Structure 1
Amino acid sequence: MPPRLSGSLIQLPFSLGAVNPQYILPATNSIRTFGIRSLNPPKPSRFNVSPNLPVLKSTPTAALERKAATLPLRTGVIAIKKGMSAIFDPETGKRIPCTVLQLDRVQVVAHKTRDVHGYYAVQVGSGWKHPKNVTKALLGHYSGQGVSPKRHVYEFRVKDESGLVPVGKLLNANWFQEGQYVDARSNSKGKGFAGVMKRHGFGGQDRSHGVSLTHRSLGSAGPSQGGGSRVYPGKKMAGNMGNEQNTVQNLKVLKVDVENGLVLVNGSVSGPRGCVIRIQDAIKKPWPTFAETTEATETST
């Protein structure tokens, strides 16, 4: 059977000058009188109802505007954790523990723009890698940008196009200033398979009252019949501990050594010696002044 057209889509076989009433069919619009009622309808939240709140928009422009206050103005750098040390404050004489981070031939590799990728970012590479150990796709990427193959490659989000550093520019240790604050992102130490007491801080079970050989075990994993007689997703159990990305915020830069490429930050940073650390301007502190940093970087390069 050929498909049927609704009355509003039927074409008349004659011109408008000679319209036969028998070919005019009434337009019928079907109204859906059935449906499935939601068991969990959305509930209004009193926190989302206010005349002072802006209207949420789902456009890429609105998404970038919402993140404008939390995106750094400059790119970050890739550093290697060399270990921890301490320096003494000459004014107070206090011993300040610090982490030693070293920059190894940090260079801008590529850009991410809003027109092509939907956001602004700077792709930064560190170290050096032999071309025979690099895939052809990456070799084409490096050769197209005119830079040598890198050991580590990461990208750093920036607010707008003003933060896009020219491709091929070297970022030295004086990219940061003494006294400013940075955020450090790295992977924590991997500790392998661990139980619930070490991994999540469980208190363990009794040492008496019939408990035997299960003093450090989990115990009951799921609720009874009222909870569905199943184990909920995300239940804290024994498993792999560590080796997860961790961000340490508001680390103060204590000292900068341009000749050796060292940046000393206050306190500790997650990860073992030799791990990769990504440091960038802290988003919860005022932005540093860029005039001195730009001039120092240009003179060093």
Structure 2
Amino acid sequence: MLGIIGKKIGMTSFFDEKGLKVPCTIIVAGPCFVLQKKTLKKDGYNSYQIGFEEKKIKKTKKSLLGHFKKFKSTPKKKIVEFSLKKELKSKKSGDIIKVDIFNENELVDITGFSKGKGFQGVIKRHGFSGVGEKSHGQHNRYRAPGSIGAGSDPSRVFKGTRMAGRMGNKKVTIKKLKILKIDLFKNLLIIKGSVPGTKNSFLKIKKTYEIKYS
């Protein structure tokens, strides 16, 4: 299974063959440098580790500098490892991966971190409707969570109760997104629909693995 690291540029519109306006996301994908190739015999599993986007040496940890030096690479901002079901003999350390590993109209799975929204209440976080209308002696209850558990029995709040808390900034994978267009000169992928993350956030892009039934 092949994959690449990308960076989200933003969203725009794309007109398909029928002239319909389709919302899409523009991603700069690669070129990525293959750092380390892991094999079943040596490491216990098959995978390859790739790096994307140059990073200043003074902002890189010494332990990572040694890792990059070992594989004759400059420091990279983002390192991702793609696991493989079987060894990929065509790729080795030092190779460059570009967007040409994908084809137009192909399906991909994209992983990123969703937008962080900070500490939010139950209405925004879980879609609660609030306590209701204000009555005598009751005020500022429109967006309140209401009761969170019984008093005497069980005398505690159950784990997993939907309450206020941190929202967003979680690892999200959206599957089977269609590639509308590929720009080989600018290393751009135009993906149908939205992808997780803010602008300039890193994304992990890999081909959708489809199970074929006999």
TM-score (structure 1 length as normaliser): 0.66
In structure 1, how many angstroms separate the alpha carbons of the residues matched to 2:113 and 2:210? 21
Indicate the structure whose relative CO is greater, using CA pairs within 8 Å and at least 6 residues apart: 2
Match of 2:3 in 1: 76
Name the SS of the counterpart of 1:197 in structure 2: helix
Match of 2:96 in 1: 170
* Higher strand content, 1 or 2: 2
* Higher helix content, 1 or 2: 1
In structure 1, how many angstroms separate the alpha carbons of the residues matched to 2:169 and 2:211? 28
In structure 2, how many angstroms separate the alpha carbons of the residues matched to 1:224 and 1:75? 55
Match of 1:87 in 2: 14
Deviation at 1:178, TM superposition (A): 0.6
Match of 1:122 in 2: 48
Select between 216-225 and 98-107 the one with higher mean Cα deviation: 216-225
The AA in structure 1 aligned to 2:106 is Q
In structure 2, how many angstroms separate the alpha carbons of the residues matched to 1:248 and 1:106? 22
Please say if 1:102 is aligned against 2:17: no
Q: Paired residues, what number? A: 211
Deviation at 1:111, TM superposition (A): 2.3
Match of 2:159 in 1: 233
Match of 2:63 among 91, 116, 137: 137
Please say if 1:255 is aligned against 2:181: yes
In structure 2, how many angstroms separate the alpha carbons of the residues matched to 1:149 and 1:222? 52
Alignment CA distance shift 1:177-1:103 (3 Å): same
Match of 2:169 in 1: 243
Gaps of 5+ in 1: 1-73, 287-301
Name the SS of the counterpart of 1:190 in structure 2: coil
Match of 1:265 in 2: 191
In structure 2, how many angstroms separate the alpha carbons of the residues matched to 1:214 and 1:141? 56
Match of 1:219 in 2: 146
Please say if 1:189 is aligned against 2:94: no
In structure 2, how many angstroms separate the alpha carbons of the residues matched to 1:186 and 1:245? 6
8 Å CA contact 1:75–1:163 kept in 2: the answer is no
Q: Which protein is bigger by CA-based radius of gyration?
A: 1
8 Å CA contact 2:110–2:206 kept in 1: the answer is yes
Match of 1:283 among 186, 189, 209: 209
Match of 1:201 in 2: 127
TM-score (structure 2 length as normaliser): 0.91
